[in-house]
Structure 1
Amino acid sequence: MSLTAFLHSRHGRGFASRARIEAHHAAAFRRFRAQVMPRSPFYRGMADLPLEALPRMDKARLMAHFSAINTCGIDRDRAMQIAIRAEASRDFRPLIGDVSVGLSTGTSGQRGLFLATPRERRLWAAIMLGRYWPELWRRQRVAFFMRADNALYRSLSNALVRFAFFDLLSPFEAHLPRLAELNPSVLIAPARILALLAERQAAGGLALAPRRVISVAETLSPEDAALIERAFGIRVDQVYQATEGVLAMTCRLGHLHLNERWLRIDRDVIDRATGAFCPIVHDFTRESLPILNYRLDDVLIPDPEPCPCGCASQRIARIEGREDDMLWWTSATGPRLVTSEAIRTAIACLPQALRDYRVIQRGAVLHLWLDGAAWGTEAALRTGLAAMARRLGCTLPELAFHHGLPPETGAKRRRIRVEPETPVSR
């Protein structure tokens, strides 16, 4: 299985048609209902149900039924204790038997557990190494920046791969000497960390020469992608991975595709004009903790154009963000989705470039935080946003401008978000 996964990721061109994808999913679900669902106390009585008739899952429901859903006989409270102890001690080595346990908070702040058996860890490593290993004949040095380590990630290590974990809870500056000594051939980090490293590289404070740069865990904005690519001289790849699985990866041409070889992803469309949807995930590789009919609150924008790489798996134009962070403005026909791309375009047209920004909607007021030399361009931004609202046929909310950046509210950076109404200092 792992060798097949490696070869598919390395040399496969993907499915040639939608019909082949659907046939592959049907066969995968037949195997899953016969071999995996009977081992789950929660699902064993549902193995004859159609996929869409299974209970709709989200993080809260998965955690509420965790002990019955998983096939390893692992108690949720015990797993949570081990995961919290690892988070507190920053020692992520303890396992339950041979099963690794991880804790995810996500952008919503809600805690979720995930499991990975040795087989699942090998499969994940085979997919990642097959797709992103620069040269098979050279030993690779992988720098991995993440909030928490896990045996799943350390499964990348082998005789040809030196894997180094960089803890995001440690001070950024403390990582730089070790990173320079490692001089990674593969650099994996959230977009904001890659942007910080790119700024340091451009200023001459680093001299890294990675062969692969991979953005994970956060939405990669066009401005961050451009900064990173200029600094390191190579394209940025993306891996869209959640607790629920690896949902999408960039192809050999750099376009993001849903990971339909290993998952079936249905759509809960929230905006017909753009096709924006929340993914409903069915993962046929996750046997320890079955993920079936699981709705994520991420919003994806599909790309209707076929990819020149030849793979028929759905292309994704961009990961828009959390459903709760979507901007809905009033229009004559009802609420209208205002995409992050529309906001970024208005900001990109300013006469002075923004170093960074935040757009936060609180009630009927849109707060704009401007960092760097662009302070003083409020009138131009107001004009640009008003023109954008007219094109979309909606009403521009009241605008409030602020200097600098607001405090971050979570572990992941969200440049555009929605928050409850609270007083804001000017």
Structure 2
Amino acid sequence: MSLKALLKTRYGKGFRTREAIEAHHQRSFARFRRAVMPRSPFYADYADTPLSDLPRMTKQTLMAHFTAINTCGIDREKAFEIALRSEQSRDFSPMIGDVSVGLSTGTSGQRGLFLATPKERKLWAAILAGRFWPNLARPQRVAFFMRADNALYRTLGNPLLRFEFFDLLDPFDTHLPRLQALAPTVLIAPASMLKVLAIAQNSGQIALSPKRVISVAETLSPEDRDIAKQAFNCQIDEVYQATEGVLAFTCQEGNLHLNEAWMRIERDIIDPQTGAFCPIIHDFTRESLLLLNYRLNDVLIPNPDPCPCGSACMRIARIEGREDDALWWDGPNGAKMVSAEAIRTTIACLPSPITDYRVIEKDKHLTIWLEDAAPESETELRHAFAALAARLDVNLPALTIRNGLPAEPDFKRRRIRVERQPRHCE
């Protein structure tokens, strides 16, 4: 673990002005151009090219050029072979040399690879420990729920920190005795698993007293945050991490900020009214698999208000989800984006409480699935969604309401999504 990065994350004052952030980025990229880009066969000739003029990258193009982009001389097919074998065997210890290889299925279902050198693993661990380690002077116990383990995550382990991985592909009930025996001081899990663990806590199946609870991998809805906060009696922190690295995490005040100390994140605005944007990443800490001019299809909503913590790093009001899952409803003035927050709020404010739900739009038809709904919920929901459409001056799509929850199409649960016909490649 990088002691300097840990202390900087934990005790540093951070950047108080945008000018300080810009100066930091200029210095960081000057070094990156000089020391890192020439080592990448793909980027060697781009070392003097402005960031905005570099080839636009997405997961698809990054994977297509993986072998030439990475600086470790790792062949894409070899990396896929190692990652897939680990997924199938559930043994995530194999590496290529000292470089860990991970597989990302992503919410789109498109496979991706990520690499992490020892230096990168230490930096990741330092950022997470510096921000979320409850007490540096006392031993800690971390319970980490995730679909796949990786040497990157195990870098958190050290003589003062016991790290245990809980495989989300294992039956839930098998986790509870081991989790109770561990009695974690830090609990890390996707939002959907945090909710299930909170229910188990409230029902007396487990009795945990974590000092930190951290949501990862999925969008954390306000209702899931409240359930977990009540069950574990502590603030629920959030780490917005993708295959592309740690993009944002909550500050001491509980607000989400972009990780502009370690990467430059520009905005591709998709909805001028709300400022909703897709992030474009230029990472000056990732030296194994370079991420430059890389566009994610996640939709983020900025919060222009200054944060009480004093950080000038961009504050994020919420993560809407994938751009492909944004709801766009037609109206007299053209199509408008209907935010996930508007959908969640509409359902949360129904007179009859809803245990859980899914909102699925397909071919301009809206299907809403309700779990444990009262008989009157359907009428209430139709009235509420009609009122929402009227307030936004759009037309409500054809609406079907069903009982229960549908089968999940992928690992990452998304309460609100758009289903599109799969694209056929030539």
Unpaired segments of 5 or more residues in structure 2?
Answer: none
CA–CA distance in structure 2, aligned partners of residues 17 and 124 of structure 1: 24
Number of residues of Structure 1 aligned to a counterpart in Structure 2? 422
Counterpart of 2:293 in 1: which secondary structure? strand
Does the CA-based 8 Å contact 1:375-1:403 persist in structure 2?
no
CA distance in 2, matches of 1:133, 1:64: 38
- Matches for 1:91-170 after TM superposition, within 5 Å: 91-170=91-170
| Residue 329 of structure 1: aligned partner | 329
Moved more, 377-386 or 235-244: 377-386
Residues 107-162 of structure 1: per-residue CA shift (max 9 Å, x gap): 01111111000011111111110000001111000000000000000000000000
Letter in 2 for 1:400: T
Say whether the 8 Å CA contact 1:365–1:398 is kept in structure 2: yes
**1:386 counterpart = 2:396:** no
Letter in 2 for 1:294: Y
The amino acid of 1:199's aligned partner reads I
Cα offsets for 1:213-268 (capped at 9, x unmatched): 00000000000000000000001000000001100000001000000000100011
What amino acid sits opposite 1:20 in the alignment? A
Corresponding residue of 2:220: 220
Superposed CA offset, 1:291-314 (max 9, x none): 000000100011111101100100
Aligned-residue offset at 1:364 = 2.1
Report Cα offsets for 1:321-364 as digits up to 9, x if no partner: 01110000011221100001111111111111110000001112
Tell me the SS of whatever aligns to 2:292. Answer: strand
Aligned-partner Cα distance in 2 for 1:57–1:373 = 44
Instruction: State the partner residue of 1:413.
Output: 413
What amino acid sits opposite 1:50 in the alignment?
P
Rounded Cα–Cα distance in structure 1 between residues aligned with 2:4 and 2:421? 52
- Name the SS for the 1:24 alignment partner: helix
CA contact (8 A) 1:257 1:313 kept: yes
Cα distance in 2 between the residues matched to 1:79 and 1:375: 52
- With 337-346 and 380-389 compared, the bigger mean Cα shift is at 380-389
Alignment of 1:360 with 2:360, yes or no, is: yes
Partner residue in 2 for 1:188: 188
Structure 2 partner of 1:316? 316
| CA deviation after TM superposition for structure 1 residue 201, in Å | 0.4
Q: Distance in 1 between matches of 2:36 and 2:346?
A: 49
Contact 1:363 1:421 (8 Å CA) reproduced: no
Contact conserved, 2:281 with 2:294, CA < 8 A, in 1? Answer: yes
Q: CA deviation at 1:4?
A: 2.2
Q: Distance in 2 between matches of 1:51 and 1:98?
A: 30
Look up the match of 2:377.
Answer: 377
| One-letter amino acid of the counterpart of residue 224, structure 1 | D
Counting only pairs closer than 5 Å after superposition, residues 207-246 of structure 1 correspond to structure 2 as 207-246=207-246
Deviations 1:356-393 (A, max 9, x none): 00000111211110111344311111111111111111
Partner of 1:272: 272
SS in 1 for 2:159: coil
CA contact (8 A) 1:362 1:420 kept: yes
Q: Is the 8 A contact 1:282 1:294 kept in 2?
A: yes
What one-letter code is carried by the residue in structure 1 that aligns with 2:9?
A: S
- CA contact under 8 A between 2:176 and 2:205: conserved in structure 1? no
Q: Which residue identity does 2:281 align to in structure 1?
A: V
Q: Distance in 1 between matches of 2:338 and 2:247?
A: 24
Percent of pairs with identical residues: 65
Alignment of 1:7-46 (within 5 A): 7-46=7-46
Measure the CA separation in 2 of the matches of 1:194 and 1:345: 20
Give 1:282's aligned residue: 282
Determine if the alignment matches structure 1 residue 56 to structure 2 residue 52.
no
Task: Work out the CA distance in 2 between the residues paired with 1:407 and 1:307.
Answer: 40
In structure 2, the residue corresponding to 1:386 is in which secondary structure?
helix
Is the 1:262–1:285 Cα contact (8 Å) retained in structure 2?
yes
Q: Tell me the distance in 2 between the aligned counterparts of 1:403 and 1:107.
A: 24
The CA distance in 1 between the partners of 2:99 and 2:420, in whole Å, is: 39
How far residue 73 of structure 1 moved from its aligned partner, in angstroms, is 0.6
Give distance in 1, aligned partners of 2:385 and 2:18: 39
User: What is the DSSP-based 3-state SS (H/G/I as helix, E as strand, rest coil) of the residue aligned with 1:373?
Assistant: coil
Structure 1 window deviating more from structure 2 (385-394 vs 209-218): it is 385-394
| Aligned amino acid, residue 142 of structure 2 | V
- Aligned partners of 1:300 and 1:321 also within 8 Å: yes
Letter in 2 for 1:158: N
CA distance in 2, matches of 1:353, 1:403: 14
Structure 1 CA distance for aligned equivalents of residues 4 and 275 of structure 2:
34
The Cα of 1:420 is off from its aligned counterpart by 3.3
Tell me the C-alpha RMSD between the 2 structures. 1.1
TM-score (norm 1): 0.98
Aligned partner of residue 215 in structure 1, secondary structure:
strand
The AA in structure 1 aligned to 2:334 is G
- Aligned partner of 1:74 in structure 2 is 74
1:79 and 1:101 in contact (8 A); partners too: yes
Q: Give the TM-score normalised by the residue count of structure 2.
A: 0.98
Distance 2:375 2:234 in 1: 31
* Aligned AA (2:224): D
2:373, 2:403 within 8 Å by CA — same for their partners in 1? Answer: no
CA distance in structure 1 between the aligned counterparts of 2:61 and 2:236, rounded to whole angstroms: 35
- Equivalent residue for 1:257? 257
Distance 1:375 1:317, change over 3 A: farther
Structure 1 residue 421 displacement after superposition: 7.2
The one-character-per-residue Cα deviations of 1:160-190 (angstroms, maximum 9, x if unpaired) are: 0000000111111111110010010000000
Q: CA deviation at 1:3?
A: 2.0
Retained in 2: the 8 A contact 1:145–1:167? yes
8 Å Cα contact 2:58/2:295 also seen in 1 = yes
Give the 3 Å change call, closer, same or farther, for CA 91–421 of structure 1 in structure 2: closer
